[in-house]
Amino acid sequence: MKAALLYGPEDLRIEDVKTPVCKKEEVLIRVHGVGLCGSDIRTIIHGHHRLEYPQILGHEIAGEIVEIGEGVKGFSPGERVYVSPLVPCYECPACKRGWLGQCENLTVPGTTIPGGFAEYMIVTEDIIKKGQVIKMPHDMSYEEAVMTEPLSSVFSCQEYANVTLGDTVVVIGMGPIGCLQLELAKLRGAKRVIAVEPSRIRLEKAREFGADFIIDPFEVDPVKRVREITGGWGAEVVISANPSTKAQGQAIKMACKRGKVVFFGGVPKGEMTLIDSNFVHYEQITILGHFGYDHMQNARSFDLIADKKIKADRYVTHVLPLEDAMKGVEMAKSGEAIKVVLKP
Ligand SMILES: [Zn+2]
Ligand SMILES: [Zn+2]
| DSSP-assigned letters across all residues of 74-143 | S--TT-EEEE---B--S-SHHHHTT-GGG-TT-B-BTTTB--SSBSEEEEPHHHHHTT-EEEPPTT--HH
Collect residues with CB below 5 Å from ion ligand 2. Answer: 88-89, 92, 95, 103
Answer positive or negative: Cα dihedral of 195, 183, 107, 342. negative
Distance from residue 130's CA to the centre of ligand 2 (Å): 13
The Cα–Cα gap between 20 and 264 comes to 35
233 CB contacts (<8 Å, ≥6 apart)? 168, 227, 256, 257
What is the amino acid identity at position 101?
G
Listed by start position, the domains of the chain span 2-151+293-343, 162-289
Closest CA to 88 of 52, 126, 145: 126
DSSP string, 57-87: ---SEEEEEEEE-TT--S--TT-EEEE---B
Looking at the CA of 35, name the nearest ligand: 1
Please work out, in degrees rounded to the nearest 5, the angle formed at the alpha carbon of residue 168 by the alpha carbons of 167 and 169: 105
Residues 6+ positions from 315 with CB-CB distance below 8 Å: 147, 176, 179, 180, 338, 339
How far away, in angstroms, is 38 Cα from ligand 1 center? Answer: 7
Q: How far apart are CA 146 and CA 320, in angstroms?
A: 14
**∠ CA 316-296-255 to the nearest 5 degrees?**
70
Choice among 48-52, 183-187, 208-212, 261-265 with the minimum mean pLDDT: 48-52
CA–CA distance, 325 with 255 (Å, rounded to integer): 38
d(CA 169, CA 179): 12
Judged against a pLDDT cut of 90, whether residue 269 lies above it is answered with no
**pLDDT for position 184:** 98
pLDDT of residue 179: 96
Q: Which ligand lies nearest the alpha carbon of 88?
A: 2
Using the predicted structure, report yes or no on whether residue 335 has a pLDDT greater than 90. no
Q: Does the 162-289 domain belong in CATH 3.40.50.720?
A: yes
Q: Hey, what's the torsion of the CAs at 118, 122, 128, 131, to 10 degrees? A: 0
Residue 264: HSE in the Cβ half-sphere, 13 Å Cα cutoff: 34
pLDDT surpasses 90 at 218 = yes
Architecture category of domain 2-151+293-343 in CATH: Alpha-Beta Complex (3.90)
Could you tell me the distance, in angstroms and rounded to a whole number, from the CA of residue 57 to the centre of ligand 1? 11
Distance 215 CA to ligand 2 centre (A): 40
First to last CA, the chain: 10
DSSP characters over 213-249: EEE-TTTS-HHHHHHHHTTTS-EEEEEE-SS-HHHHH
Residue 215 is predicted with a pLDDT of: 98
The model's pLDDT over 46-103, given as tens digits with 9 standing for 90+, comes to: 888 888 899 999 999 999 999 999 999 999 999 999 999 999 999 999 999 999 999 9
Q: Which tens digit of pLDDT belongs to each residue from 188-205?
A: 999 999 999 999 989 999
Please check the confidence at residue 287 and state whether its pLDDT lies above 90: yes
List Cβ neighbours of 333 (8 Å cut-off, separation of 6 or more). 41
pLDDT per residue as tens digits for the range 137-149: 999 999 999 999 9
**Nearest ligand, CA of residue 84?**
1
Q: Which band of pLDDT confidence, cut at 50, 70 and 90, is reported for residue 268?
A: confident
- CA–centroid distance, 221 to ligand 2, in Å, is 42
Query: How far is CA 336 from each of CA 65, 202, 244, 287, rounded to the nearest angstrom?
Result: 33, 8, 19, 31
pLDDT value of residue 266: 86
Distance CA 242, CA 206 (A): 15
